[in-house]
Copies of this chain bind each other. A is one copy, B any other.
Amino acid sequence: MKIVNTPEEVRKQVALWKKEGFSVGLVPTMGFLHEGHGSLIKKASEENDKVVVSVFVNPIQFGPSEDLASYPRDLKHDTELVSECGGDMIFSPSPSDMYCEDFCSFVDVENLTSGLCGAKRPGHFRGVCTVVTKLFNIVQPERAYFGQKDAQQLAVIKRMVRDLNVPVTIVPCPIVREADGLAKSSRNTYLSSEERKAAVILNKSLKKGLAALTSGERNAEVVKNIIKDTLNSEPLAKIDYVEIVDSSALAPVTNINSSILTAIAVYIGKTRLIDNFTFNL
């Protein structure tokens, strides 16, 4: 497994690959990889000749009171997983490899970023769009792979790609879950064993919401209340948001008559977890 740290090294290797006619896939990650990331890397290696996995805890997408310093890191384990899943190169830059001191250029997607996670995390998606733009420009992949767990991120990146004519195909990949239904997340490692048990309530509540939808309920408020009531039944859970929005513009929906995204963010103790499902009409 080749691990490189600078944009120049990535460009050099990718240029050699492209000279040989190889297609290149990119899996952007913040590291501490789990089976969810593994599924993206596997899909990327099925669809491309070469796969670059970026491992970078991107400082500009964290708010001042967020977990940048404590965000888990384990490049040794990441390297093993990338190798097992068929990746060809890890790009693991330092913050100074990515942002020089007088860095001042940003990519911003409006509208889609004002609600859901964006409402509580000002600047988060600007940080995400900026680093993803940089990664796309450094790697110049044919395809890039994003997990549907970060549903708003996926919608925002898709919009950015459409609006700015970015020459990369975005490939969404399904959420990977633990046996009990909890969505895989690097942040699950923050949970105590008691909290870990309680965290199953996220997926459980979404299942109840989905059941209401499949049995014909079309009032978003009713569905949201079913989810909220379920979440509130768990003493360790504190709701951040429960929202039903349209799948592409992410605007709140009152009556469900098109494809929607149901997204939740919930604190389990001090750990903020997210989960979602889409429902296509």
Instruction: Mark A residues whose CB is within 8 Å of B.
Output: 7, 11, 100, 102-112, 129-130, 133-134, 137-138, 140, 159-160, 162-167, 249
Contacts and interface: CB of A to CB of B under 8 A. Distances in A.
Nearest to A126: B108
Contact of A163 (B104, B109, B164, B167): B104
A163 B7 contact: no
A169 to B, nearest CB: 13
A210 B133 CA distance: 40
Contacts of A130: 164
A164 B104 contact: no
A110 B102 contact: no
Total identical chains: 2
Nearest to A133: B164
Contacts of A104: 109-112, 159, 163
A159 B105 CA distance: 7
Contacts of A129: 105
Contact of A106 (B100, B110, B138, B162): B110
